[in-house]
Amino acid sequence: IIKPDAVRKGHTGAILSQIDQAGFRIVAIKRQSISKSEAEGFYYVHRERPFFNDLCAFMSSGPLVLMVLEKDSAIADLRKLMGATNPASAEEGTIRKKFAGSIQENAIHGSDGEDTAAVEIGYWFAGYELI
Ligand code: ATP
Ligand code: MG
């Protein structure tokens, strides 16, 4: 997910280009706004965290870009390309280092495992959208 901060600042194209250059195939993609309750469902695992409410308000604050990406080692490779959650500690050249403003408004989300990826893909996409 390209998060609302990055879409708002006009970084969508640059981030898509970096994802493309890194060898990912974009299997599905859509730009849309989500409601706060949709964000709450998506981040359900974080419901007890102190930043949960702010995070869900942020994620529903403007359009974002939802994608399904395919590649060998896609999960690990995307997380490497994203950089650390906190852009202050992200490696040079990573998407978060280049485009994120804070630990919360950190430009991009990537699934952290095959099981969570399967749930997250099903959360945003119907089967007929995955070609
Ligand atoms: P993501 O799940 O979005 O790919 P991540 O796996 O690097 O990021 P998580 O620990 O899963 O990080 O946290 C989910 C999201 O919650 C972060 O990307 C960030 O937007 C927000 N977040 C995490 N920690 C904090 C914090 N301490 N303060 C504010 N927001 C936070
Ligand atoms: Mg995470």
Looking at residue 79, what is its pLDDT?
98
Q: How far is the CA of 43 from the centre of ligand 1 (A)?
A: 10
List of residues 6+ apart from 39 with CB closer than 8 A = 55, 56, 57, 59, 60
In angstroms, rounded to a whole number, what is the distance separating the alpha carbons of residues 131 and 29? Answer: 11
In angstroms, rounded to a whole number, what is the distance separating the alpha carbons of residues 44 and 28? Answer: 23
Q: Is 106 in the pocket of ligand 1 (CB under 6 A)?
A: yes
Per-residue pLDDT of the chain (131 residues; tens, 9 = 90+): 999 999 999 999 999 999 999 999 999 999 999 999 999 999 999 999 999 999 999 999 999 999 999 999 999 999 999 999 999 999 999 999 999 999 999 999 999 999 999 999 999 999 999 98
Q: How far is the CA of 113 from the centre of ligand 2 (A)?
A: 9
Looking at residue 46, what is its pLDDT?
97
Q: Is 14 in the pocket of ligand 1 (CB under 6 A)?
A: no
Beta strand segments in 51-95, E: 64-70
Q: What are phi and psi of 35, to 5 degrees?
A: -80, 165
Residue with tokens 């996409």: 125
Counting every residue, how long is the chain? 131
Whole-prediction pTM: 0.97
* Residues tagged active-site: 109
Looking at residue 131, what is its pLDDT?
80
Contact by Cβ (8 Å): 64, 32 = yes
Looking at residue 20, what is its pLDDT?
98
In angstroms, rounded to a whole number, what is the distance separating the alpha carbons of residues 6 and 4? Answer: 6
* Residue 63: strand, helix, or coil: coil
Atom of ligand 1 nearest to the CA of 43: 14
Q: Is 12 in the pocket of ligand 1 (CB under 6 A)?
A: no
Q: Is 55 in the pocket of ligand 1 (CB under 6 A)?
A: yes
Helices then strands, each counted (H, E), the chain: 7, 2
